Every structure is written in structure tokens, then in C-alpha cells.
Structure 1
Amino acid sequence: MKLWKRAAAAIKDQKSLLAVGFSRRASYRNTDLEAAIIKATSHDDSSVDYSNAQRVYKWIKASPLNLKTLVHALSSRVNHTRSWIVALKSLMLLHGVISCKVPSVVGEIRRLPFDLSDFSDGHSSLSRTWGFNIFVRAYFAFLNSYSSFTADQISRTRANLRSDKVDSVKQQLDRIQKLQSLLDLILQIRPIADNMKRALILEAMDCIVLESINIYGRICSGIIKILPAAGKTDAARSLKIVNKATSQGEDLAMYFEFCKGFGVSNARDTPQFVTIPMAEVEAMEKMVKSVEKDEQKQEEEVVEEEEKAIVLLEKPRLQTIITDKWETFEDDEYCFSEKAIQEYHQDPLPLVVSNQPVCYTMPDLITF
């Protein structure tokens, strides 16, 4: 059965090569480059065709125009395949292109030209390929983010060169945190099924191990560079990054142990990473504590000021006052004066007695 599958896979590769040879010529197509891409991403899981992979890298470095051919050929091949072997080789090939350090090439790729986030091999049962499917998806998730990050860094570098500027502390911290996110993604790439000890998986893990060393080294170098320049406003964030880097160093050491036990050649010797000076870390911790004390003091002062500003309004109480001193008004003085009393006795007002009800005419309040 294995021989039959390999023969069928070889026939598919030959058909693809014939299709390239008889395809219509176009300005964006390079048939020699397309043929090298097909050979470098063949269905053979026993080996990797490094010679054709190197040919692809040379074509890309020779002219940025060949990038269109690469994108067209790889996306077409990946979108039409259901083989985890072709998918994984395509990722490895594109990983090499991104790592070639050619700004005109890497700056244009950004997101990968295909989507393998939901990849599933269609040539074998799921019980035999589920581990390979997860491996391909994890590799794609990392490489897609890594490609976008690399392109953004190239664009920022170009902009800084044009304006003679350097990245601020905040921008450098942002870059370190993105690298830490990439390291989290790359540590998820590992064979987890019993049937995954294949030559192609080992080759892919060699690439992954080297890339993990590269990313963690950039994280530590960035931290060492930024710590002396970080002020009080960035102290808490810087310390958080340092603590995460320490934790990731432990995770990376465990990852190397796993890869070493699996048989990955590049993981035989655990590398000596750049260590973060403890004096810088302790100074950052003191700075964070100082900032926290200042913030707490400010909060207490604000609360105290608010308490002082609160005015309590009490409802006045009604009290009964007993006094023998009466305050007289002008009308009262006239009514109770002796002159007024004498006038009343001389000409008293008539007393009106009647059985008829007294009617009062109410004033017209509307027309008044």
C-alpha cells in the first residue's frame, strides 16, 4: 500500500510539472521557478529536496519580480492539495523565504498567500493523520503571524530612516511583547502523535528549534537594551515583560528537552541564552514600588479632599419660644393706641344683625 501511495504521489507531481511546461506564458510567471517549487514541495515524505529549495531562494534574491511567481505557484499548489506532506513542505519553503532577510521580498508578503488554519489531510483516515493536521495548523498560525510581524518591522525601519527617527520606549516594548507572542505560538508546534516520527517532521522541527532560539535571543537583547531607558511610566510594563521572559525561558528549556528526546538534531545541545542582569531587574522592581506608593498617596489625597468638600445640609428644627416681649408693628401701634380707642367709643361701628345669609361677590380673577 505504501509503495502504491508513493507511486500515485509521484505521478501527481509529474502531472503538475507537465502542466507548468505547457502553461500559457505570462509576465508574472517564471516556469523554471515554478518547476523548482513543485519539486521542493513534492509528495515524498522521506526527504526534503534542498537543492530545489536553494534554487527557489536564489530566484527570489535575484529579482523581487519573482515573488509574484512564488505566491501564485505556492497558493495554487496548497489550495489544490489535501496532503499534509505538501502543506508542510510549502510552509517550510516559505519560512525560508521570509528568513532570507531581503526587505523588498519580506516586506511584500505580510500575510501568507494561503490559509491552513483548518487543514485536514484527505488521503488517510483521521485516526492516522490527526497529529499531522494539528502540526500543520500550528506551524501555519506561527508563520502567518511571523510574516506579518517581519513586514511591519521592515516598514517601520524604512519610515525611521526617512525621518531620522528612532523607536520610542513604548514602540520597543510593543515589539518585545509581539516577539513574546510569537514565541508562545512557536512552542505550540510539536509532534504529539505516536506515528509522527518521520524524516520530514524531524526536518521541520530542526527549523522550528532554530527559529525559537532566534526569537528568544531577540527578546532578551531587547529587554537588556530597554531597561536602562525605561522610566517610571513604563516601569510596570517593563517588569511584566521581564517576568514573562523568565517564564518563557523555562518553557523553552522544557521544549528543548522534549525535542531532544524526540530526536531533533538541533536540540541536542541547549544553547546559552543571554541573561538579563539582576541589578536592572531589581532597579525596575524598586521603581514599580515607588510608582505604586505615589499613586496610593495621590488616591488618599484625592479622597481626603473629596471628604472636605462634602457639605452636610441639616434641616432646621422648629422651636417654641416663650417670651413676654412682643414686637409691635406700625399697624398694631395704631389699633391699640389710646386715640384709636377714644375714636371708637365716640363713633362705634354699627352691629349688623340679619337672618339673611351674607353673600360675597368673588372677584373675577381671569379678567381682573
Structure 2
Amino acid sequence: MTLWIKATGALKDRYSIWVAKLSPSGPCRNPDLEMVIIKATSHDEQCMDYKNVQRVFKWLRTSPLYIKPLLYTLTMRMEKTRSWVVAIKGLMLIHGVFCFDLPAVKNLGRLPFDLSHFSDRHINPKKAWVFNAFVRSYFNYLDQKSTFVRMEAMKETKPGSKEKEESVMEELQSLEKFLDLIDLLLQVKPRNPHMNVVLILEAMDCVMDEILELYGKFCDRVHRVVSRIIDMGGKEEARVGLDVVSKAESQGSKIKTYFNFCRKIGVLNGSECPEILKVDEKDIGELLRIRDEEKMEDKNSDNSKNYVMACEHNKCRTIVTFSDTKELDLKTVITDQWEVFEDDFIDIMNGDAKITSFPMTSTCNPFLDYSLSLVPYVSASNNCVLPDLIIL
């Protein structure tokens, strides 16, 4: 059965090359480049055809205009294939394309093909799921990396981006994205001993190189951002910075475990695990001080708010407001005694002459003082009893 699969794959590759020779040239198609790409992503599962891979890269070095026919041919091949061998070779090829500092590559965004639901149809499904998982996880990382590269390129091309330094919070967001990308990389690994074939190990070599490069950039940026936070301060920046450092420390143990696993299956070829990030304890203490200092200021501002105390004595309720200096700032007295002001002076007329003018004095409720009432006051006891209106 294995010989039959190999023979079928070889026939498919020959047929694809023959079709490429007969295809017309255009802005998105180059027959010569297309044939090289087909050979670089053949069905041969023994190993990657690095000779033709280098020929593809040579085309890109000749002119960046070849990036469009390269992506078109690779997309058409990835969309049609149901072989895990072709899929992994195509991912390794696009992975190498990211090494080129070309605007078309930086502005690519999402990958032009989708292997998130890839499924091999040439081998037993019980054996194929581990290869399918490897292809999907590898594609997921490259897809997210392509998006991240585009976001970084957009920041560089913004007007005034060269003169304006990236804010601390923007750098912290980039560091969080670095952590996410590293987590995706750590998921790319063989999940079965039977997967330890040459092609899988070559793909893992690419993954190892990517981890070393990505983690190195992450560590350099972490130290720079921590220094900026300490210099400028800022509660939110210090809080996010501590979260990033904490996640990086927990991720360091995962990286060690991952490299030990790869060393056991023979991937690293003598490479050592990268030096795990370790932020100076003094810097961590400074971040904690900045964060907690802001909290103490908020707490003190809450304590400095005025509190109201109410007390009663001799039918007089007093509302007193104290400040944080414990001095009496305001005092409001609420009493059942009424104060008569100038507007409340009442002159009683006798003909054309004024008889009496009441001065401002403390008195009882004027609404109960009959001498000041212009309307005769009738006691409620003299009124007749009203009927029960509810019954009516």
C-alpha cells in the first residue's frame, strides 16, 4: 500500500509539472517558477527538496515581483492537496519566504490559503489524525505570524512613526502577542512516536529556529520596556508589565520541557535551550512599588472624603462635616425653632397708619402663631368629622 501511495504521488507531481509547462504566462503565473515550486513541494516524504527550495528563493532575490506568482502557485497547490507531505512542505516553503524583507511579504496579512481543517485522505484515519494535527498547528502559527508581521509593518508606515516613539502600552501589547505566538509554536510537535520521520524532524528544526529567534527578540524588548516603565511610572503600565513578566516566567518552564522533548526525539542536533528570561528582582520591586503606590494614593483620596456625623441633644439635630485634617469645616443646625428674617416683617395697618412692626426674633413656628396669621385659624377639633370616603 505504501508503494502504491508513493507511485500515485509521483504521477501527480509529473502531471502537475506537465500542466505548468503548458500554462500561459501572466502577472500571476510563471511556468518556470511554478515547476520549481511543484518539485520543492513534491509527494516524496523522505525529505525536503532543498535544492529546488533554494531555487525558489533565488527567484525572489532576483526580483520582488515574483512574490505574486509564487503565492498564487503555492495557494493553488495547498488548496488542492490532501497529502500531509505536500502540506508540510508548502508550510516550510512559506515559512522561509517570511525571512525575506519584502513589502509584499510584510503586508500579506492572513495566509492566502487555509489549512486549519486539513485532513489527509491517503492513509488510515486512525493514523492520519496526528499528521493532521501537526499540519493544522503549524499553519495556525504561520497564519498568526503573518498577521502580526503586517501589524508591525503598519506601525512603521504610519505618518510620523519614525519621529514618534512607540508608547509603553503599545510595546506591552506587542509583547503579549509575542507570548501568544510562542505558545502557538510550542503546540507544533509530533504527538506519536511513529511520526519521527525525516520530514517531520526537518519541520521541527524550522520550529526550533523560530523559537530561538522569537524568544530572543521577546527578551530584549522586555528589558527595554521594564526600564521605560520604571522611568516614567504609571499604574496601568506597571500592572500590565508585571502580568507580562509573570506569563514569561511560567512560559519559560514550558520552553524547557519542549526542548527536552525535542532533544529526546533527535530534533535539536546539539542545540541548547535558550536562556530563560529572568528580570532583575530590583526591577520587579520597582514595578510593584509603582503599582502599589498608585493604589495607596487612591485609598488616601477615599479617606480624605468628608464624612457626616449626626447627633441629637435638646431637640436639636446637628450635622457636622469633618475633613481629613480633623478640623470643623462646616456646621449646619436643624432645629424646630424658627428664625424670622427681614423679609418676614409684618406691619399691621389701622386705617392709614402702621401700628405694629415685628422685629427679627426667635419665635415658634409662624404657621402656628395665630397673631401673625392673616387667615383665621380654626382648630381641627372644631371641624366636623368627615365621612369615610373609601366606603362611599
Work out whether the TM-score is over 0.5. Answer: yes
Question: What letter matches 1:216 in structure 2?
Answer: Y
1:346 matched residue in structure 2: none
SS of alignment partner, residue 87 of structure 1: helix
Deviation per CA, 1:295-326: give whole Å up to 9, x if none.
333344458589969xxxx9x9xxxx9xxxx9
Residue 184 of structure 1 pairs with residue 183 of structure 2: yes
Residue 205 of structure 1 pairs with residue 208 of structure 2: no
- Conservation of the 8 A alpha-carbon contact between 1:13 and 1:38: yes
- Conservation of the 8 A alpha-carbon contact between 1:60 and 1:105: no
Tell me, in whole angstroms, the C-alpha distance in 2 between the residues paired with 1:182 and 1:304. 52
1:295 matched residue in structure 2: 298
Tell me, in whole angstroms, the C-alpha distance in 1 between the residues paired with 2:12 and 2:107. 31
| Greater share of residues in strand | 2
Deviation per CA, 1:74-116: give whole Å up to 9, x if none.
110011110011111111100110122x132322322101001
- Conservation of the 8 A alpha-carbon contact between 1:220 and 1:245: no
Q: Which moved more, 1:114-123 or 1:161-170?
A: 161-170
Classify 1:10/1:299 alpha carbon distance in 2 versus 1 (closer, same or farther; 3 Å). Answer: farther
| 1:264 CA drift (Å) | 0.5
1:109 matched residue in structure 2: 108
TM-score w.r.t. the length of structure 1 is: 0.80
TM-score w.r.t. the length of structure 2 is: 0.75
Question: What letter matches 1:90 in structure 2?
Answer: G
- Report which structure shows greater RCO (CA 8 Å, sep ≥6): 1
Question: What letter matches 1:104 in structure 2?
Answer: P
Tell me, in whole angstroms, the C-alpha distance in 1 between the residues paired with 2:178 and 2:146. 12
Tell me, in whole angstroms, the C-alpha distance in 1 between the residues paired with 2:34 and 2:373. 117
Tell me, in whole angstroms, the C-alpha distance in 1 between the residues paired with 2:300 and 2:14. 75
Tell me, in whole angstroms, the C-alpha distance in 2 between the residues paired with 1:291 and 1:305. 27
Deviation per CA, 1:201-226: give whole Å up to 9, x if none.
10011111111111111111111001
Structural mapping, 1:215-294, within 5 Å = 215-230=214-229, 231-233=233-235, 234-266=237-269, 268-273=271-276, 275-294=278-297
Unaligned runs of 5+ in 1: 334-368
2:129 matched residue in structure 1: 130
| 1:26 CA drift (Å) | 1.4
Classify 1:332/1:60 alpha carbon distance in 2 versus 1 (closer, same or farther; 3 Å). Answer: closer
1:341 matched residue in structure 2: none
- Conservation of the 8 A alpha-carbon contact between 2:67 and 2:104: yes
Kindly tell me the number of residue pairs found equivalent between the two proteins: 323
Deviation per CA, 1:259-311: give whole Å up to 9, x if none.
111210356422335543232122112222212222333344458589969xx
Classify 1:297/1:11 alpha carbon distance in 2 versus 1 (closer, same or farther; 3 Å). Answer: same
Classify 1:332/1:169 alpha carbon distance in 2 versus 1 (closer, same or farther; 3 Å). Answer: closer
Question: What letter matches 2:126 in structure 1?
Answer: S
Classify 1:306/1:198 alpha carbon distance in 2 versus 1 (closer, same or farther; 3 Å). Answer: farther
Classify 1:303/1:263 alpha carbon distance in 2 versus 1 (closer, same or farther; 3 Å). Answer: farther
Structure having the higher Rg: 1
Question: What letter matches 1:286 in structure 2?
Answer: R
- Conservation of the 8 A alpha-carbon contact between 1:206 and 1:264: yes
Tell me, in whole angstroms, the C-alpha distance in 2 between the residues paired with 1:223 and 1:157. 20
Unaligned runs of 5+ in 2: 311-320, 323-333, 337-363, 377-392
Question: What letter matches 1:42 in structure 2?
Answer: S
- Kindly report the root-mean-square deviation, in angstroms, between the aligned alpha carbons of the 2 structures: 3.0
Tell me, in whole angstroms, the C-alpha distance in 2 between the residues paired with 1:8 and 1:169. 56
1:6 matched residue in structure 2: 6
Classify 1:332/1:304 alpha carbon distance in 2 versus 1 (closer, same or farther; 3 Å). Answer: closer
Tell me, in whole angstroms, the C-alpha distance in 2 between the residues paired with 1:13 and 1:263. 30
SS of alignment partner, residue 64 of structure 2: coil
Classify 1:37/1:293 alpha carbon distance in 2 versus 1 (closer, same or farther; 3 Å). Answer: same
SS of alignment partner, residue 201 of structure 2: helix
1:59 matched residue in structure 2: 59
| Greater share of residues in helix | 1
- Conservation of the 8 A alpha-carbon contact between 1:79 and 1:114: yes
Classify 1:331/1:206 alpha carbon distance in 2 versus 1 (closer, same or farther; 3 Å). Answer: closer
Identical aligned pairs, as a percentage? 36
Classify 1:272/1:301 alpha carbon distance in 2 versus 1 (closer, same or farther; 3 Å). Answer: same
1:349 matched residue in structure 2: none
Structural mapping, 1:34-183, within 5 Å = 34-100=34-100, 102-159=101-158, 164-183=163-182
Deviation per CA, 1:151-208: give whole Å up to 9, x if none.
2212222336665222111111111111111111111111112321111110011111
Tell me, in whole angstroms, the C-alpha distance in 2 between the residues paired with 1:256 and 1:329. 98
Tell me, in whole angstroms, the C-alpha distance in 1 between the residues paired with 2:110 and 2:309. 53
SS of alignment partner, residue 158 of structure 2: helix
Tell me, in whole angstroms, the C-alpha distance in 1 between the residues paired with 2:299 and 2:374. 67
- Conservation of the 8 A alpha-carbon contact between 1:40 and 1:49: yes
